[in-house]
Amino acid sequence: MKAYRIVDWEARYEVNEKGGRYRPGSGLETAKRPLSFVRLPVEQGTGYADMVRVARKSRAAVAFGVWTFLLELAADNKSGLRGWIIEEDKPNGSWKPASMEFLMRRSGFSRRHLEIGIEVLRDPEVYWITHHAFDGLGAPRNAAELHGAPGDSAHPSEGEGERELEVQGEVQGEGKPEKPRPPVNENHRTPQQHHEALRLRFAERVCKRVHLDKSATTLLCATLDSMDLGALAEERMGRFIKDAIARDNPSSYAMKVLPEIAKEHPREKGGT
């Protein structure tokens, strides 16, 4: 199953056991109990402006209200679960993705307002929330535990239900439904075939959002081929798209940054 998650929760919003900013390797663990407040860093970039532009001014206030609610909900979890938009699954003694009914009940927002907010927040140009595999027990810590396909996660590409919102398997959206696709048996793919499918989806996602020249596009393909294309890489590429869109020369930016991204997420020999 999949659940919504705040992007970069640990780096931007997590709190340590003494109530300060959590820094991995500092010797201080994350706070054990649900948080009583949310660290909201001062925005120095274009994040708010990007959100308002994507949302359009008529929907920006709704989207920001939903964002604030989701931050509080993500913080109201114990260590290991914070950052996830989830609710307690009492019969099974675990956790499950938050249903639309749960979100409506906790927030007081209408279904339509929540749908608008989630649609804006998961847009690739905003990328404040993402959609990832969730095992009902705790937050994955590495790419091996979170290995979703980009086309099925937080940022659908055009023609793949871009306006639809997936809430516990139920599509809540507008417009015409997506045409049915022939079933694919993922178990019959070789590791190389699986990696190739992920690489193509990543490349398509970037190229639909960012205009790159021939050299930058070639480097993009080479970078993706050398990367472990797990969920952590997906989050990093989401930030790359957002940053590249804001640049006057996206191709020049890509030529500088893509080699660094490849080093951050190297692909193991023989891996996917």
Q: Please report the pLDDT score of residue 193 as a whole number.
A: 67
Average confidence (pLDDT) over 32-58: 85
Average confidence (pLDDT) over 262-272: 73
The secondary element (H helix, E strand) that includes residue 85 is strand 84-89
Structural domain including 254 reads: 190-264
CB under 8 Å to 96, separation ≥6 — which residues?
A: 1, 3, 86, 87, 88, 89, 134, 136, 168
pLDDT confidence bin for 180, thresholds 50/70/90: very low
> For residue 150, what is the DSSP state?
G
Verify that 199 and 156 share a domain, yes or no.
no
Domain boundary among 146, 172, 198: 172
Verify that 86 and 25 share a domain, yes or no.
yes
Report the mean per-residue pLDDT for the chain.
Answer: 77
183 occurs within a structural domain: no
pLDDT tens digits for 207-235? Answer: 877 888 888 888 988 888 888 877 777 78
Verify that 77 and 135 share a domain, yes or no.
yes
A 10 A CB-CB count for 181 gives: 7
Q: Please report the pLDDT score of residue 104 as a whole number.
A: 97
A 10 A CB-CB count for 149 gives: 15
Q: Please report the pLDDT score of residue 167 as a whole number.
A: 33
178 occurs within a structural domain: no
A 10 A CB-CB count for 237 gives: 26
Residue of 2 and 203 predicted with greater confidence: 2
Q: How many domains does the chain have?
A: 2
Q: Please report the pLDDT score of residue 136 as a whole number.
A: 74
pLDDT at 81 over 70: yes
Verify that 8 and 138 share a domain, yes or no.
yes
Residue of 4 and 218 predicted with greater confidence: 4
78 occurs within a structural domain: yes
CB burial class (10 A; 0-12, 13-18, 19+) of residue 49? exposed
Verify that 107 and 196 share a domain, yes or no.
no
pLDDT tens digits for 86-126? Answer: 999 888 778 999 999 999 999 999 999 999 999 999 988 88
Contact 77, 84 (CB under 8 A): yes
154 occurs within a structural domain: yes
Where b means 16+ CB within 10 Å and e means fewer, 97-122 reads bbebebbeeebebeeebbbbbbbbbb
Least confident among 53-57, 74-78, 182-186 = 182-186
257 occurs within a structural domain: yes
Residue of 129 and 270 predicted with greater confidence: 129
Verify that 11 and 85 share a domain, yes or no.
yes
> What is the CB-side half-sphere exposure of residue 84 using CA atoms within 13 A?
28
pLDDT confidence bin for 17, thresholds 50/70/90: very high
Q: Which of 59, 49, 71, 56 is nearest to 4 (CA)?
A: 71
CB under 8 Å to 218, separation ≥6 — which residues?
A: none
Residue of 165 and 201 predicted with greater confidence: 201
Q: Please report the pLDDT score of residue 206 as a whole number.
A: 84
**Winning range, highest mean pLDDT, from 58-67, 151-160, 214-223:** 58-67
Listing DSSP states for 65-79 in one string gives HHHHHHHHHHHSS-T
The secondary element (H helix, E strand) that includes residue 192 is helix 191-209
Q: Please report the pLDDT score of residue 269 as a whole number.
A: 63
Verify that 114 and 11 share a domain, yes or no.
yes
Q: Please report the pLDDT score of residue 229 as a whole number.
A: 77
133 beta partners: 2
Verify that 130 and 206 share a domain, yes or no.
no
Verify that 27 and 157 share a domain, yes or no.
yes
Verify that 32 and 159 share a domain, yes or no.
yes
Residue of 127 and 45 predicted with greater confidence: 127
Q: Please report the pLDDT score of residue 264 as a whole number.
A: 87
Q: Please report the pLDDT score of residue 44 as a whole number.
A: 63
pLDDT at 183 over 70: no
Verify that 206 and 163 share a domain, yes or no.
no
CB under 8 Å to 56, separation ≥6 — which residues?
A: none
Verify that 20 and 148 share a domain, yes or no.
yes
240 beta partners: none
208 occurs within a structural domain: yes
